Structure 1
Amino acid sequence: MKINFIPLQKHGDDRGSLVALEEENNIPFSIKRVYYIFDTKEGVRRGFHAHKKLKQVAIAVKGSCRFLLDDGTERIEVVLDNPAQGLLIDSCIWREMYDFSSDCVLMVLADCHYDENDYIRDYDDFLKQAR
């Protein structure tokens, strides 16, 4: 499985830093939904699902967390800790997020609106569909 990190150009000076996100430019799709995860309790794991069609870009805008990505044949652990770097997560990739720093703010951009029918929440079902 190839991990796709997206470099996000950071602009900054003595006043601070800025990263601009532009659909179909540095974000490789049209953005239909944005959400963010924060105040995650110590030891909590999140995710535990894949999507049939949805693609996402995850960005740790503050702090850090880990992702476990699984395509049904390979499992890879990735650390997100740079607000100028996005992680592209394709469809049919199982994801688990964990080891959130106390200050972590994880922002996720999605190419589709929320659709419960797009979720694969059972790992065995995911493996059947991934193969």
Structure 2
Amino acid sequence: MKHYSVYDCSIVPLNKIHNRAGNITVVEGETSIPFDIKRVYYLYDIPGGEERGGHAHHGLFQLIVAASGSFEVMLNDGHNKKIVRLNRPDFGLLVVPGIWRELFEFSSGSVCLVLASMKYSEDDYIRDYEEFRKLKG
């Protein structure tokens, strides 16, 4: 696993096309973001006070977008932590491999859209925080 840090995670502005009938944002793999999109999923109907995430990935890149509403993402590289608030559908958070992430403070009706560089593979997940800390040294 390459040793990325929380400072390798960044906010990515996405192209917003305004039209009097409404806005559209298009995300293209390897153009808008630095990876090809292999999987798309979204989180919604998250009860108040609940958290999501609580894991890291060995090789997966993700773009996390607040498609509706808002939420916070805590990023942890084993040494540094930072919290990013997402609340605009035309900005995404690029999360690189080897970063522990926790999503929380979901607003009512929020939708968290995730674009991923790999299809689902349980082997790519690091779900135990102590194992993550050992891997990060």
TM-score by length of 1: 0.97
RMSD, aligned CA: 0.8
2:87 corresponds to which residue? 81
1:122 corresponds to which residue? 128
Write the distance in 2 (CA, Å) between the matches of 1:61 and 1:45.
Answer: 17
SS at match of 1:57: strand
Identity in percent: 44
Write the distance in 2 (CA, Å) between the matches of 1:21 and 1:76.
Answer: 25
1:46-57 paired onto structure 2 within 5 Å: 46-57=52-63
Cα drift, residue 60 of structure 1: 0.5
2:60 counterpart letter in structure 1? L
Write the distance in 2 (CA, Å) between the matches of 1:28 and 1:107.
Answer: 17
Cα drift, residue 13 of structure 1: 2.2
SS at match of 1:34: strand
Write the distance in 1 (CA, Å) between the matches of 2:92 and 2:73.
Answer: 12
2:91 counterpart letter in structure 1? Q
Structure 1: which 5+ residue stretches go unaligned? none
Per-residue CA deviations over 1:58-112 (Å, capped at 9, x if unaligned) read: 0001100000100000111110001000100000000000000111111000000
Structure 2: which 5+ residue stretches go unaligned? 1-5
TM-score by length of 2: 0.93
Write the distance in 1 (CA, Å) between the matches of 2:64 and 2:128.
Answer: 22
- Tell me the matched-pair count: 131
1:1-131 paired onto structure 2 within 5 Å: 1-2=6-7, 3-131=9-137
Ranges of 4+ aligned residues in structure 1 off by more than 2 Å:
none
Write the distance in 2 (CA, Å) between the matches of 1:110 and 1:130.
Answer: 22
Write the distance in 1 (CA, Å) between the matches of 2:96 and 2:40.
Answer: 16
